[in-house]
Structure 1
Amino acid sequence: MTSRPAPEPAIATSWSGGVAEIRIGDGSRRNALPGRAWSQLAHQVVELGADSSLRVLVIRGHGDTFCAGSNMTDWVDADSGYVEESFAHMEAAFTAIEDCPVPVIAEIRGVAAGAGCQLALACDLRFMADSARIGMPIARLGILASPAFAARMVALAGPAAARELLYTGRLVDARTAVDLGLADDSVPEEHLAARTSNLAAAVAEQPPAAIRAAKLAVAAALAPQREAAAANPRPAVARSDFDRAIAAFLGQRSAAAAVPPAAP
């Protein structure tokens, strides 16, 4: 009997010198994560940040995509408490990244959507493959944009762009993301890993105390926005719209999976 390979972990960590890497997902569902994996991510970032040898943290997705947000099958028949808890786990992961004492770089392939977009925006720098897209297509799912979600977009792209992207759910390409301020660079996909590695190495060569101080200084400048967002908690979803949207989305996926492939 042939044994099956062990499944990839939802959150995997590796080190190279003073640079740590977190890989998101296992390659399935475009690396969308269930609530427990967001909690695992928060824990992993805090643990890495506590290591004095850490200089830079890189976050990338498994395979050819970054993160499509949350795994919606996790919410089928879930009660409101569980759904709200899932969003709290996501926000804890984003906050852990923002509070990590060293620079965090997002390397984005494929798509960074919904919670995946927020994951990228919580990082200090974002490099995107020129074929990648980013955005917050959450309104159609009955998900209510939180003040914290909006604050991250406003801080990078300004209120006008944040409104348009949140109202329409539009995903923007890498070049547009750079123009809006949502990404720092658009790179041909075959050069993306090198772009990330080179920047991580350049940061790692700087005096650690100076880099950590720089991150704290930027965080202090953004503190009023973050504090205002945290002071205005709201429900995560409009429940009836959310339930209908989840059922419709998963129904469409099931129907698509049932269609036999075309003959070559």
Structure 2
Amino acid sequence: MEPCLHHDVADGTATVVIRNPAKRNALTPGMWRALPPLLERLAADPAVRALVLTGEGDTFSAGADIGSLGTTYEESTALALPAEEALAHFPKPTLAAVRGYCLGGGCQLAAACDLRFAEEGARFGVTPARLGIVYAPSSTRRLVDLVGPATAKYLLLSGELIGAERALRTGLVDEVLPPGGLDGRVAEFTRVLLSRSALTQAAAKEFTAGPVDPARLEYWREQASDSGETREGIAAFVERRAPRFGWTPPARSDRHPAVAGPSVPADHSR
């Protein structure tokens, strides 16, 4: 099997699968480059309401293909950072479904997702100290925001791996599932996400990402006022029925950019 990012869309959810089983799903340069434009396409697809990132088989990802890493700071971060930022700025809910090893660049991608569900036995590691790589400031800050400075320092300074239960305690993962229970729980939870207001979700993702420009706050106020989402949500609650939320993102020229990172041909996605 050639290394690739396989993806499909079904029932409102896009699933992106990291495939390189010969190297424990390590990400090749082509796979890193393919992720930003793939995410851009999925963000623009009205059929996509949520995204799940996972790995082929029993491993999420062992990180970057070490043989492809450059020896300078610029070279070592040039591939992973655009992919990480594209995932972090994806405008719809994202969830990493983790089995087995989730290391290095793989953990970097998982941390860029909104949520992380893991199967018992999963192992997590942030490993630049093993290679003498300076972890990017944005990646470091994202990790600190997720697990706090103490655990971030433990992971970054030692490069040691932690298990799923410790990852759960420290906030690196949100749920730990027994063997065989991950896929069912992910499917169940994505159905929950799809039943909620896309307007609320999109605004929440932007607000939690950092300081909000007053113009952007006004934009979201207008969207909330014009969409009728609040009226529908309250009416559904009063009438004891499921809400029928209908908000969809405006045309691309009228909204915040969907993803960060360069647009390059997705030569390894299919």
Does TM-score exceed 0.5, indicating one fold?
Answer: yes
Please point out which of 75, 79, 87 is paired with 2:77: 87
What corresponds to 1:115 in structure 2?
105
Determine if the alignment matches structure 1 residue 171 to structure 2 residue 161.
yes
Q: Name the amino acid aligned to 1:143.
A: I
What corresponds to 2:46 in structure 1?
52
What corresponds to 2:240 in structure 1?
none
Displacement of 1:111 after TM fit? 0.8
User: Are the aligned partners of 2:20 and 2:27 in contact in 1 as well (CA < 8 Å)?
Assistant: no
SS in 1 for 2:51: strand
SS in 2 for 1:190: coil
Once residues 2 and 128 of structure 2 are traced to their aligned partners in structure 1, the CA distance between those partners, rounded to angstroms, is: 27
SS in 1 for 2:24: helix
Displacement of 1:138 after TM fit? 1.9
Determine if the alignment matches structure 1 residue 194 to structure 2 residue 176.
no
User: Are the aligned partners of 1:56 and 1:102 in contact in 2 as well (CA < 8 Å)?
Assistant: yes
Please point out which of 205, 209, 218 is paired with 1:219: 209
Q: Name the amino acid aligned to 1:101.
A: P
SS in 1 for 2:64: coil
Once residues 198 and 222 of structure 1 are traced to their aligned partners in structure 2, the CA distance between those partners, rounded to angstroms, is: 32
Matches within 5 A, 1:126-141: 126-141=116-131
Once residues 122 and 159 of structure 1 are traced to their aligned partners in structure 2, the CA distance between those partners, rounded to angstroms, is: 17
SS in 2 for 1:36: helix
Determine if the alignment matches structure 1 residue 184 to structure 2 residue 168.
no
Once residues 86 and 146 of structure 1 are traced to their aligned partners in structure 2, the CA distance between those partners, rounded to angstroms, is: 10
C-alpha distance after superposition, 1:65-105 (max 9, x if no partner) = 00111011224xx674xx73452221111111111110100
| TM-score normalized with structure 2 length | 0.74
- By relative contact order (CA 8 Å, sep 6+), the higher-ranking structure is 2
What corresponds to 1:210 in structure 2?
200
Q: Which runs of 5+ in 2 are unaligned?
A: 214-270
Once residues 212 and 143 of structure 2 are traced to their aligned partners in structure 1, the CA distance between those partners, rounded to angstroms, is: 12
Aligned length: 213
User: Are the aligned partners of 1:127 and 1:192 in contact in 2 as well (CA < 8 Å)?
Assistant: yes
Determine if the alignment matches structure 1 residue 151 to structure 2 residue 141.
yes
User: Are the aligned partners of 1:35 and 1:87 in contact in 2 as well (CA < 8 Å)?
Assistant: no
User: Are the aligned partners of 2:119 and 2:176 in contact in 1 as well (CA < 8 Å)?
Assistant: yes
Once residues 202 and 34 of structure 1 are traced to their aligned partners in structure 2, the CA distance between those partners, rounded to angstroms, is: 33
SS in 1 for 2:20: coil
SS in 1 for 2:155: helix
Matches within 5 A, 1:8-47: 8-47=2-41
What corresponds to 1:101 in structure 2?
91
User: Are the aligned partners of 1:118 and 1:152 in contact in 2 as well (CA < 8 Å)?
Assistant: no
CA RMSD of aligned residues (A): 1.8
Q: Name the amino acid aligned to 1:121.
A: A
User: Are the aligned partners of 1:109 and 1:189 in contact in 2 as well (CA < 8 Å)?
Assistant: no
What corresponds to 1:227 in structure 2?
none
Once residues 55 and 120 of structure 1 are traced to their aligned partners in structure 2, the CA distance between those partners, rounded to angstroms, is: 19
User: Are the aligned partners of 1:64 and 1:109 in contact in 2 as well (CA < 8 Å)?
Assistant: yes
What corresponds to 1:62 in structure 2?
56
The 10-residue stretch of structure 1 (120-129 or 83-92) with the greater mean CA deviation from structure 2: 83-92
Displacement of 1:16 after TM fit? 0.8
User: Are the aligned partners of 1:132 and 1:174 in contact in 2 as well (CA < 8 Å)?
Assistant: yes
Q: Which runs of 5+ in 1 are unaligned?
A: 1-6, 224-264
Once residues 153 and 79 of structure 1 are traced to their aligned partners in structure 2, the CA distance between those partners, rounded to angstroms, is: 23
Once residues 124 and 112 of structure 1 are traced to their aligned partners in structure 2, the CA distance between those partners, rounded to angstroms, is: 16
